[in-house]
Chains A and B, each alone.
Chain A
Amino acid sequence: GEDVEQSLFLSVREGDSSVINCTYTDSSSTYLYWYKQEPGAGLQLLTYIFSNMDMKQDQRLTVLLNKKDKHLSLRIADTQTGDSAIYFCADLTGGGNKLTFGTGTQLKVEL
């Protein structure tokens, strides 16, 4: 089945850029997503990218997709303490039927 992998932890200083990486195995993935989970809360959709795009920018967020390497990244510019959270990538697989989630990356923003 589909496998989506992320590194577990990332620590950055406030004001720096954060880059969270994700790799997936299903070459037929059509949509890929980034979710944010704050402590004690559910998952909030941050952004998504269609597989025929290489890049998508939305304010401080930049998503890069390398289909050849099956690699997805989320860049957060000017990282703030409010960005401290768990970030999940996910892709739409199973013939467009279901999302497969990554293992999550804990982002810690230090002053």
Chain B
Amino acid sequence: EADIYQTPRYLVIGTGKKITLECSQTMGHDKMYWYQQDPGMELHLIHYSYGVNSTEKGDLSSESTVSRIRTEHFPLTLESARPSHTSQYLCASSPTTPYYGYTFGSGTRLTVV
């Protein structure tokens, strides 16, 4: 079944550690997105990609980086985690023209202690 997967679901990590949040989709979608969601609910777009080797920064400045070497894979990396990075991270994908919306993964809840 076509879907979008995020791992891990939960991650607790110490300050200064390097982390990678994984996102993979089997939808055959060109576009992929990363959102950060604080406890206040609002979604903030931090990165997006229109295809392989294409990455762009979103509306909210983030210290994280992304890569898109394969169509189905869009990992997010934090080189040195800090408590201010504690948040829910949501990955999504869509066709080139998202008439039917985005498909979201289940999210990764990151806590930096």
Whole-angstrom CA separation of A31 from B107 in the bound complex: 25
Q: How many of chain A's residues touch chain B, expressed as a range?
A: 20 to 34
Does B71 sit at the interface, judged by CB under 8 A? Answer: no
Question: What is the number of contacts between chain A and chain B, taking CB atoms within 8 Å?
Answer: 52
Count residues of chain B with CB under 8 A from any CB of chain A: 20
* Chain A 55-111 residues near chain B, CB threshold 8 A: 86, 88, 90, 92, 96-99, 101, 103-104, 106
Cross-chain contact B42 with A103 (CB below 8 angstroms): yes
- Measured in the bound complex, the distance between the Cα atoms of B94 and A48 in whole Å is 15
From B13-21, B74-82, B96-104, give the one contacting chain A: B96-104
Given contacts A41-B106, A41-B107, A42-B104, contact A104 B98 (CB under 8 A): no
Chain B, interface SS category? loop
- Which residues of chain B (41-79) have a CB below 8 Å from chain A? 41-43, 48
Q: Which residue of B lies closest to A92 (CB)?
A: B98
**Least Cβ–Cβ distance between B41 and chain A, in angstroms:** 4
B41 with A104: CB separation less than 8 A: yes
Majority DSSP secondary structure for residues of A touching B: strand
Distance A43 CA – B97 CA, assembled complex (angstroms):
19
Chain A min CB distance to B3 (Å):
11
Whether the pair B41, A103 counts as a contact (CB closer than 8 A) is: yes
Q: Most chain-A Cβ atoms within 10 A of its Cβ — which of B6, B98, B100, B106?
A: B98
Residue numbers in A under 8 Å from B90 (CB-CB): 42-43
28 pairs from A and B in contact (CB 8 Å cutoff): A8-B41, A31-B101, A40-B107, A40-B109, A41-B106, A42-B6, A42-B90, A42-B104, A42-B105, A42-B106, A43-B90, A43-B102, A43-B104, A45-B100, A45-B101, A48-B100, A88-B43, A90-B101, A92-B99, A96-B97, A96-B98, A96-B99, A97-B98, A98-B98, A99-B98, A99-B101, A99-B102, A106-B41
Chain B contact residues, CB within 8 Å of chain A: 6, 41-43, 48, 90, 92, 94, 97-107, 109
